[in-house]
Amino acid sequence: MVRIFIPADTTACALGADAIAAEVSLQAQNRGLDIAIIRNGSRGAFWLEPLVEIEADGSRYCYGPVNPGDVAGLFDAGFPGLFDHALFLGQATDIEWLARQDRLTFGRAGLIDPLSLDDYKQYGGYEGLDKALDMSPAEIVEAVTDSGLRGRGGAAFPTGIKWRTVLNAPADQKYVTANADEGDSGTFADRLLMEADPYQLIEGMTICAMAVGATEGYIYLRSEYPKALVVLSQVIATAEDANLLGDNILGSGRDFHIHIRVGAGAYICGEETSMLESLEGKRGLVRFKPPLPAIEGLFGKPTVVNNVLTLAAVSTVLAKGAAHYQEYGSGRSRGTLSVQLAGNIRRGGLVEVPFGASLRELVEDFGGGTASGRPVRAIQVGGPLGAYLPESQWDTPLDYEAFSEVGAMLGHGGIVVFDDSVDMLEQARFAMEFCAVESCGKCTPCRIGSVRGVEIIDKIGRNENGPANLELLEELCETLDSGSLCAMGGLTPMPVRSAVKYFPEDFEGSIANGFLR
């Protein structure tokens, strides 16, 4: 029997993977071939999806990108055997785009059946928890601190320090929450992990619970990810059956339960305090800090709020040791960064590399430039609240501090590429519009300022009193920046200011540019 792997990942399916699986099954049946189809996750090489793999001699051979219409022809040519074909890519390890990465977190993605606990364990899964169960809470926290791991959601707060705060907070109940409200445009790493290697998140949360003394955990999953919901629900049930979740985990005497809560389409709920409000069943209004969630979080109890990738990385830190994780990276940014190449890019997908690679390396070497074939003009890094960077900034190393120095941020690692047809005034306008749509409404600068921002940018676009309105826009940005409670209002100026600063020619008005906006 030949094992054939066809991803069930959202992007692979958006490109026809379900139809391919059905066609492969039908063709094999018609030809009397003995095959088994395994719906794996994606390896994150989305430019090669749908990527169909065949297992032979213990190796995996790839064909891609396969269209549903290609399947019959592939069978005619000898599929599922191995043969020379335009779509044949060789072994997965031969694909340079994948081979050049350092996959600490995404090593299993695409390789395993995401629903199979055996697969997960076969490739090192639950080694981290095994070790954690033999350690004291303080020792686990120390390992996480020593690894240098910082929050992958965007704020880059040292994870070990957050955990220590929760560990040291006396309470009758503590919580671990996974922020899976991955709302930034250009990001899909959390989704990929949850769909391709979901036990890693469960394991990371469990280790966290052991470290801080929590017995209840919540995954706050955005409603835009229906496939991840199905996968997570199944693996949580499997983990419970295997006593990896629930009461007296593996006989340790410790309990931990995980609940999934589905968001309802609000970007702001990715902000940690807004997420906690939403988990409590309320409007996602941002809370004042202090108190920190680590002291008074969910239902007023000490709570760890970590991004999916942060929690996932913890399993690697525990399994392989803090020193191993710490070896990767640059400066104070340790470990690997899961970069997501998106937008107008030829070879888009998930690239996991140590911190320190340059933006240019990512976009040009891995990304292969634009999908449209036109020159890259602007790159937005870090989601809708991140800066638009011109070519002069592309040699900036991907490192939290280096990005901060140039007035940008890495955020959750999303890189969105625009070619030279982009109108940066439109992009600045969208940043304000997005803030107006998604503001929770608590702070006036964010709620009202964003609406005024759209109006001002429209005036600039109509060439109405341009210089004065640009000055007013800068003042407005200053107000949002300094007068907002959270990053939504505080960082909306980042894309706006960077667009004005680096692409001033787009703000000179319609007449100057010779076309109507």
Partner 1 sequence: MRSPNGAPVAVVSAAVQKYADTPGGLLPLLHEIQADLGCVPKDSVALIAKGMGLSRAEIHGVISFYHDFHYQPRGQKTIHLCRAEACQAMGSRKLEAHVKSRLGIEYGGTTPDGRFSLEPVYCLGNCACSPSIRIGDDVFARVDADRFDELLDGF
- Taking the CA atoms of the chain, what radius of gyration do you get in angstroms? 24
Q: Tell me the closest approach of the beta carbon of residue 352 to partner 1, in angstroms.
A: 14
Binding segment toward partner 1, per CB under 8 A, in 303-311, 331-339, 436-444, 504-512:
436-444
Q: Tell me the closest approach of the beta carbon of residue 74 to partner 1, in angstroms.
A: 21
Length, in residues, of the chain: 517
Q: Tell me the closest approach of the beta carbon of residue 163 to partner 1, in angstroms.
A: 23
| CA 499 vs CA 458, 505, 513: distances in Å | 15, 10, 16
Nearer to partner 1, 244 or 276 (CB): 276
Binding segment toward partner 1, per CB under 8 A, in 77-85, 124-132, 260-268, 459-467:
260-268
Asked if 318 and 160 count as a contact pair (C-beta separation under 8 A), the reply is: no
Joined together, the tokens standing for residue 206 give 């469990």
Nearer to partner 1, 23 or 190 (CB): 190
Q: Does residue 223 touch partner 1 according to CB under 8 A?
A: yes
Q: Tell me the closest approach of the beta carbon of residue 226 to partner 1, in angstroms.
A: 5
Q: Does residue 499 touch partner 1 according to CB under 8 A?
A: no
Nearer to partner 1, 415 or 456 (CB): 415
Nearer to partner 1, 59 or 233 (CB): 233
Q: Which of 238, 307, 344, 396 binds partner 1 (CB under 8 A)?
A: 344
Q: Does residue 416 touch partner 1 according to CB under 8 A?
A: yes
Consecutive H or E run containing 324: helix 322-326
Q: Which of 267, 400, 403, 507 binds partner 1 (CB under 8 A)?
A: 267
Q: Does residue 307 touch partner 1 according to CB under 8 A?
A: no
Binding segment toward partner 1, per CB under 8 A, in 140-148, 419-427, 464-472, 479-487:
419-427
Q: Which of 69, 78, 226, 331 binds partner 1 (CB under 8 A)?
A: 226
Q: Tell me the closest approach of the beta carbon of residue 160 to partner 1, in angstroms.
A: 28
Distance, CA of 344 to CA of 47 (rounded, Å): 12
Nearer to partner 1, 318 or 487 (CB): 487
Its sign, for the CA torsion 222, 225, 226, 229, is negative
Asked if 95 and 40 count as a contact pair (C-beta separation under 8 A), the reply is: no
Q: Does residue 382 touch partner 1 according to CB under 8 A?
A: no
For residue 504, say if its preceding peptide bond is cis, omega within 30 degrees of 0. Answer: no
Q: Which of 297, 438, 439, 456 binds partner 1 (CB under 8 A)?
A: 438
Nearest to 134 by CA among 201, 211, 245: 211
Name residue, tokens 């997960």: 120
Q: Which of 14, 99, 406, 512 binds partner 1 (CB under 8 A)?
A: 14
Q: Which of 101, 145, 315, 380 binds partner 1 (CB under 8 A)?
A: 380
Question: Which residues have C-beta within 8 Å of that of residue 213, sequence separation ≥ 6?
Answer: 137, 166, 167, 174
Nearer to partner 1, 53 or 438 (CB): 438
Q: Does residue 453 touch partner 1 according to CB under 8 A?
A: no
Where does 169-300 have alpha helices with state H?
A: 189-196, 198-212, 226-241, 272-279
Distance, CA of 63 to CA of 380 (rounded, Å): 32
Q: Does residue 10 touch partner 1 according to CB under 8 A?
A: yes
**Number of residues this chain uses to bind partner 1 (CB under 8 A):** 60
Exposure string over 224-249, b if 16+ CB within 10 A, otherwise e: ebeebbebbeebbebbbeeebbeeeb
The SS3 of residue 28 is: helix
Q: Tell me the closest approach of the beta carbon of residue 337 to partner 1, in angstroms.
A: 16
Question: Which residues have C-beta within 8 Å of that of residue 382, sequence separation ≥ 6?
Answer: 154, 184, 403, 408, 409, 410, 411, 412, 413, 414
Interface positions, 166-205, toward partner 1 (CB under 8 A): 182-188, 190-191
Q: Does residue 208 touch partner 1 according to CB under 8 A?
A: no
Q: Does residue 256 touch partner 1 according to CB under 8 A?
A: no
DSSP one-letter code for 284: -
Listed in order, strand segments (DSSP E) in 94-250 are 175-180, 216-221
Asked if 254 and 248 count as a contact pair (C-beta separation under 8 A), the reply is: yes
| CA 314 vs CA 145, 164, 302, 418, 510: distances in Å | 10, 14, 20, 34, 51
Q: Does residue 450 touch partner 1 according to CB under 8 A?
A: no
Distance, CA of 486 to CA of 497 (rounded, Å): 18
Its sign, for the CA torsion 189, 265, 439, 501, is positive
Q: Does residue 97 touch partner 1 according to CB under 8 A?
A: no
Q: Which of 23, 27, 46, 400 binds partner 1 (CB under 8 A)?
A: 46
Q: Does residue 493 touch partner 1 according to CB under 8 A?
A: no
Q: Tell me the closest approach of the beta carbon of residue 500 to partner 1, in angstroms.
A: 17
Which positions touch partner 1 (CB under 8 A)? 10-11, 13-15, 46-47, 49, 182-188, 190-191, 223-226, 261-267, 278-284, 299, 340-345, 348-349, 371, 380, 384, 414, 416-419, 422, 426-427, 430, 434, 437-438, 440
